[in-house]
């Protein structure tokens, strides 16, 4: 990365170091106090300050004569640019008019920043107007010029030098403080610019990493989808053949063989369920799931879900209640809603102990909405977990020795499918008392409400 050179390496012009307005006022007061004019030039010869005191008439008169103008310009040029840089003390310049100037360079940290010209003043050793002035024209009026000269302060050169020295001390202080504040301000700007550059660079790296991660995530989802699909095919055969053998199609089985086969079938089925869930989530993540909308008989849907979990519930001696009354048909994806209800009902049975109850019902809500409810009297969920149970792979009991099976995918699928319908999942639960999950769905789907199912960004592994 190419950085611009720091301003600390740049030489700053005098005008940048001084507050020119305030500085002009200081010069004005100083010149008026000593009644001698003052000019300040920067290094390039630009005039920053020009205060005239007392010499206007005298110089004006000389300026009316052609030769006077010429010599005046030459003197001013000399005072402005003749070398004085070598010495840090006043240098005197004699004007052809008899007046005089003292000039001193403005030095800062070894650099010449400009010069201060103090004058014109009348040196106390000037007895009469010099011939260099009176001779500039035949009609030169010495009496008039002498009268004008009186308006210019008469002062010994030594005193003028001392006054200028005072003034230079003042200029030194002003340049020093000016430089300090310019440095502070520019350092601040450079620091901000530097942070901004760094931030931009970090942003770019972050964007790059994000794109890489997105690509990896897509590859992962594709890989899982393919693998799950490949695993499912042989597993269905394992389950199918076990079922056939249990039915006696492969010959008579001993009790022991029957028991072993039942275990193979049961474990095969839970494996199949797990693989199907993984496949579903990866398909959702890859954006490959679309809702297929149609008229859905909700009461039938609820009865289906109850019937699906009934065998497992019976085994655990959990009662399943499902007596839906008259319910409106809704416009939705039947298969996806069926899967949502089965996931909720399976959880309800799984997390409810013997003697408990699972109730599957529905109620019409205000605003053309329907809530499908699965309530249980099971173990309940502590408040700190309620917001996280919908994350992929999240389980309240994340230990390796956990009592309940599952992979933490069921609720992520429920949430994704429900939200794709323009609905929301509501949960209320009390530890030790039970839980209630509600799918609140619009009865009539408006096209803009329907979305592609998606799963939230998730931490990998249990909580």
Could you say whether residue 381 binds ligand ADP (CB under 6 A)? yes
Could you say whether residue 114 binds ligand ADP (CB under 6 A)? no
CB atoms within 10 A of CB 368: 12
Q: How far is the CB of 394 from ligand ADP (least distance, A)?
A: 6
Segment near ligand ADP (CB under 6 A); pick from 86-94, 95-103, 184-192, 346-354: 346-354
Tokens of residue 333, six digits: 């994806």
Instruction: Supply the DSSP string of 201-225, one letter for each residue.
Output: HHHHHHHHHHHHHHHHHHHHHHHHH
Nearest to 117 by CA among 127, 103, 136: 103
Could you say whether residue 327 binds ligand ADP (CB under 6 A)? no
- CA-to-CA distance for 337 and 439, rounded, in angstroms? 9
Taking CB under 6 A as the criterion, the residue among 72, 313, 348, 425 binding ligand ADP is 348
Taking CB under 6 A as the criterion, the residue among 164, 396, 425, 455 binding ligand ADP is 396
Instruction: Supply the DSSP string of 289-302, one letter for each residue.
Output: -----EEE-HHHHH
According to DSSP H, which parts of 324-423 are helical? 334-350, 383-386, 410-420
Nearer Cβ to ligand ADP (193/270) = 270
> Rg for the chain (alpha carbons), in Å?
48
Could you say whether residue 408 binds ligand ADP (CB under 6 A)? yes
Angle, CA 292 vertex, CA 287 and CA 293 arms, to 5°: 130
Nearer Cβ to ligand ADP (93/437) = 437
Taking CB under 6 A as the criterion, the residue among 379, 420, 425, 440 binding ligand ADP is 379
Could you say whether residue 359 binds ligand ADP (CB under 6 A)? no
Could you say whether residue 377 binds ligand ADP (CB under 6 A)? no
Could you say whether residue 420 binds ligand ADP (CB under 6 A)? no
Could you say whether residue 36 binds ligand ADP (CB under 6 A)? no
Instruction: Supply the DSSP string of 127-173, one letter for each residue.
Output: -S--HHHHTT-TT--HHHHHHHHTTSPEE-HHHHHHHHHHHHHHHHH
Nearer Cβ to ligand ADP (339/347) = 347
Could you say whether residue 410 binds ligand ADP (CB under 6 A)? yes
Nearer Cβ to ligand ADP (359/395) = 395
Nearest to 90 by CA among 100, 75, 76: 100
Residue 462 three-state SS? coil
Taking CB under 6 A as the criterion, the residue among 38, 53, 409, 420 binding ligand ADP is 409
- CA-to-CA distance for 163 and 141, rounded, in angstroms? 32
Could you say whether residue 171 binds ligand ADP (CB under 6 A)? no
Nearer Cβ to ligand ADP (122/340) = 340
Taking CB under 6 A as the criterion, the residue among 76, 407, 443, 450 binding ligand ADP is 407
Could you say whether residue 178 binds ligand ADP (CB under 6 A)? no
Beta bridge partners of 102: 92, 118
Tokens of residue 129, six digits: 């107007």
Q: How far is the CB of 191 from ligand ADP (least distance, A)?
A: 49
Q: Which residue is nearest to ligand ADP (CB)?
A: 406
Q: Which helix (H) or strand (E) holds 91?
A: strand 91-94
Nearer Cβ to ligand ADP (155/411) = 411
Taking CB under 6 A as the criterion, the residue among 106, 389, 425, 439 binding ligand ADP is 389
Q: How far is the CB of 352 from ligand ADP (least distance, A)?
A: 7
Q: At a CB cut-off of 8 Å and minimum separation 6, what does 458 contact?
A: 391, 392, 393, 394, 412
Binding residues with ligand ADP: total (CB under 6 A): 21
Residues of this chain that bind ligand ADP (CB under 6 A): 343, 347-348, 351, 376, 378-379, 381, 389, 394-397, 406-412, 435
């Amino acid at each position: 990365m190419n950085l611009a050179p720091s301003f600390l390496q740049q030489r700053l012009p005098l005008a940048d170091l001084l507050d020119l307005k305030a500085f002009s006022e200081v010069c004005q007061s100083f010149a008026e106090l000593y009644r001698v004019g003052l000019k300040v030039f920067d290094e390039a010869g630009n005039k920053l300050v020009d205060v005239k005191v007392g010499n206007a008439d005298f110089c004006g008169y000389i300026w009316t004569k052609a030769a006077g103008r010429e010599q005046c310009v030459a003197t001013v040029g000399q005072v402005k640019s003749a070398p004085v840089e070598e010495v840090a003390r006043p240098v005197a310049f004699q004007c052809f008019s008899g007046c005089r100037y003292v000039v001193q360079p403005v030095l800062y940290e070894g650099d010449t920043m400009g010069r201060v010209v103090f004058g014109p003043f009348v040196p106390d050793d000037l007895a009469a107007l010099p011939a260099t002035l009176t001779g500039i024209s035949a009609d030169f009026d010495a009496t008039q010029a002498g009268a004008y000269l009186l308006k210019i302060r008469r002062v010994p050169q030594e005193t003028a030098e001392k006054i200028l020295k005072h003034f230079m001390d003042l200029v030194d202080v002003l340049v020093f403080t000016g430089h300090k504040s310019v440095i502070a301000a520019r350092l601040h700007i450079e620091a901000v610019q530097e942070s901004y550059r760094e931030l931009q660079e970090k942003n770019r790296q972050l964007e790059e990493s994000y794109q890489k991660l997105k690509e990896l995530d897509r590859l992962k989802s594709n890989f899982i989808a393919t693998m799950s699909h490949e695993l499912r095919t042989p597993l269905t055969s394992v389950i199918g053949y076990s079922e056939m053998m249990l039915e006696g199609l492969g010959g008579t089985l001993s009790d022991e063989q029957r028991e072993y086969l039942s275990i193979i079938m049961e474990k095969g089925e839970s494996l199949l369920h797990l693989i199907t869930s993984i496949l579903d989530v990866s398909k959702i993540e890859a954006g490959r799931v679309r809702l297929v909308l149609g008229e859905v008989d909700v009461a039938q849907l609820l009865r289906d879900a109850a019937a699906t979990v009934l065998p497992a519930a019976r085994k655990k001696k959990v009662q399943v209640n499902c007596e839906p009354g008259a319910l409106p048909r809704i416009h939705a994806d039947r298969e996806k809603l069926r899967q949502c209800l089965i996931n909720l009902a399976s959880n309800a049975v799984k997390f409810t102990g013997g003697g408990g109850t699972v109730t599957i019902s529905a109620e019409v809500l205000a605003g053309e909405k329907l809530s499908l409810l699965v309530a249980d009297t099971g173990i309940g969920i502590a408040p700190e977990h309620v917001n996280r149970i919908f994350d992929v792979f999240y389980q309240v009991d994340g230990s390796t020795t956990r009592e309940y099976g599952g992979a933490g995918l069921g609720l992520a699928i429920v949430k994704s499918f429900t939200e794709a319908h323009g609905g929301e999942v509501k949960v209320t639960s009390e530890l030790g008392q039970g839980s209630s999950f509600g799918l609140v769905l619009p009865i009539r789907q408006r096209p803009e409400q329907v979305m592609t199912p998606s799963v939230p960004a998730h931490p990998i592994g249990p909580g």
